[in-house]
Each structure stands twice: as structure tokens, then as C-alpha cells.
Structure 1
Amino acid sequence: MEQFLYKLKLKTIYLNNENWTEKEEEIINRHFLRLKKYTEEGKVILAGRTLNEDNSGFGIVIFEAESETSARQFMESDPAISEGMMDGILFPYRVALMRK
């Protein structure tokens, strides 16, 4: 297995909470539940986001995949990306140190 990281960036329109509807809340809920499932299954190593609420904010997902192709498919299947709320950029990655 190889390790990868994808960086998530919320599209500018969604920086304003007034632009969120029940649809966006539901997409983000599915995004979170998917990451939670894959974390519990051991595929996702770490997922999180910065807490700043301006355009500099971002999230990351560090995970394992068989290949770059399968990693890209995993990233693009994230509801936040596939349904247009966030953009994602994929990087090959290797965890060097991790606390116990």
C-alpha cells in the first residue's frame, strides 16, 4: 500500500454561511461519515481541517491506496468534491513520524 494526502479547499461561495442550505449540510455530513468509516476500517490515517474561516483555510486527508489511480478515485468519490463544495488536490505522501 502507498500513502497519499489530499488537500481540500472549500469553494469561495461557501465561506459565507448564508450560502449553506440543507443540501450543503447533508453533503458535508456524508463527507464526514465517509471519512469516519474509512478511518475505522484503517484506510484513512488522519483527517482534519484548519479552524480559520477565511479563504486560507483547508482540510487534509492522509490515507492508503494501492496506486495513484485508486487514490485519485478515492479522493474524487468524496461527496464534498464530487458534489462541488470543495476542490481537492492529490499528493503522494509518506508519514515519517506519528505519535503513539
Structure 2
Amino acid sequence: MAQWIYRIVPARPARPDAADEQEEAVADHLDYVQALKRAGILILAGRMPEDPATPAITIIEAPDEATARAVMQTDPAVAAGAMIATLYPYVVGAAAGR
């Protein structure tokens, strides 16, 4: 199975008037990542804790680009337009527990 990484960044700077919808999109994204983990699709997900504006990454396994793209585009934060995502092929060289 091939590995893929999608990088997400906020679609726009945080706005006080949109804080609730942005928080909801992030909460839905975190739930989605946990669902990917339970489904055995997720390899790793995370971001730098100091700055929420830094890119976050999600590394997944998928048989092909179309499937990986569908996983990325189904991410609630991406689907809602709160985050902009870019997909890249990836090769996991080594990982704990793999």
C-alpha cells in the first residue's frame, strides 16, 4: 500500500468573528483523524504546538492517488474550507511500531 501526506494550512488568518466556526472545523478534523486511525488508514498526524498557523500534516496509506485525494478532501476542515490541503506521495522510511 502506498503512503501519502497531506499538508494543511489555515485558509485565512484567525478572525475573532469566525472563531466558533473555526473551532468546530478543527474539532471535526480531530475526530476525522481519529476515525482514520481506527480504520487503519492513518500513519501519523500532527502540527507544531507553538503556532496554530503552521502547517499540519497527515500521513495516510491508500492504494492510489484518487483514494488518497478523496480521504484528504473528506477531511471536515478541508471540506468546510477552513483549511487548504495539498497532497504529496510519500514513503515512510522507518516508524515506531511499523
**What's the TM-score bracket when you normalise by the shorter of the two chains?**
0.7 to 0.9
Work out whether 1:87 is the aligned partner of 2:84. yes
Kept after mapping to 1: 8 A contact 2:12/2:82: no
Cα deviations by residue, 1:3-60 (Å, 9 ceiling, x for unpaired): 100001112322x5x24432222221111001011112210000001123275x1100
Say whether 1:72 aligns with 2:69: yes
CA distance in 2, matches of 1:3, 1:54: 25
Distance 2:55 2:18 in 1: 18
Cα distance in structure 1, aligned partners of 2:9 and 2:17: 16
CA RMSD of aligned residues (A): 1.6
Q: Structure 1 unaligned runs (5+)?
A: none
1:44 to 42, 65, 83: 42
* Equivalent residue letter for 2:77: A
Aligned length: 97
Normalising by structure 1, report the TM-score: 0.86
| 5+ long unaligned stretches in structure 2 | none
